Each structure stands twice: as structure tokens, then as C-alpha cells.
Amino acid sequence: MKHLLPKQAWECLQANPEALLIDVRMEIESMYVGRPPGAVHVAWYEYPDFTPDIPAFCNQVLAEAGNKARPLVLLCRSGQRTIDAGLALEAAGFSDVAHVVHGFEGDLDARFQRSSVNGWRHEGLPWEQM
């Protein structure tokens, strides 16, 4: 799995129109916190279980991607869920998987708040909010 900083992920997506950006956060996170335009939502897990259904996740990604060779860029809140999701996809045979280091909101700062240290939003990359 490739580990891309947010700006590297954006450049990768711009350079390769075939690449698919997948937001693995819960639906409510994606809707209310914001997401990059064009991101496809496939949750790694949902409330209230917070337990991934790995076969279902991989099947849904395959349905969105169309094939296991399509380049995938995974995004979550802080870059942690995408590691597990990416490893599961690779184990299922996906061959070109990357994740966004620091995710959409980034690491916590000294006041335990996100989006002020690093991450997609902190880098000023495009995003939208419902």
C-alpha cells in the first residue's frame, strides 16, 4: 500500500483520472464534516456496531471500482481506518491501493481538536459539506 500525504494524493488523483477516491468514514462523518468532491463513500464500518464487514466492504469497493486493478485512494478522518481497509483490499486482490496519511481532518492538536495540524482540510485542498 502506498502512503500519500494529502497534497500527494490530490496530485495523484489529478494526474490519473482513472483513480478512484474512496471515503471510508461513516456516512454521517462524510456528510456533516465534509468530503472531497467526487469521493465515493464506502464505509469501513457504521454506527452502532463499529465493526467492519470485510467481505461486504471489499465487494462494495469492487462494485464501485469495476475491477481490482483500478487505482484506489482511501480517505478517512485521521489516516488510521484506511490502513486496515487498505490491507483488507490488498488481501482481497486489489493491486493498486493508497491511503491518505493524516486523513481528512488530521491529527489532534494540543487542545484535542483536528484540522489545525495536518490533513486534507488543513492543506487547503478542495472539499464540500452538506
**Cα 36 from Cα 66, distance rounded (Å):** 21
Question: How much of the chain is in helix, strand and coil states, percent to nearest 5?
Answer: 30, 15, 55
| C-alpha grid cell, residue 117 | 495540524
Rounded distance between C-alpha atoms, residue 107 and residue 39, angstroms: 21
Within a domain: 59: yes
What is the pLDDT at residue 76?
97
Tell me the mean pLDDT in the region 37-52: 96
Q: How confident is the model at residue 121 (pLDDT cuts 50, 70, 90)?
A: very high
Domain tally for the chain?
A: 1
Q: Which domain holds residue 54?
A: 2-100
Q: Flag whether 113 is in a domain.
A: no
Position 115 scores a pLDDT of 85
Bridge partners, 20 (sequence order):
72
Q: Which pTM value belongs to this model?
A: 0.95
Give residue 116's pLDDT: 87
CATH number at residue 84: 3.40.250.10
Q: Is residue 120 part of a domain?
A: no
Contact by Cβ (8 Å): 72, 22: yes
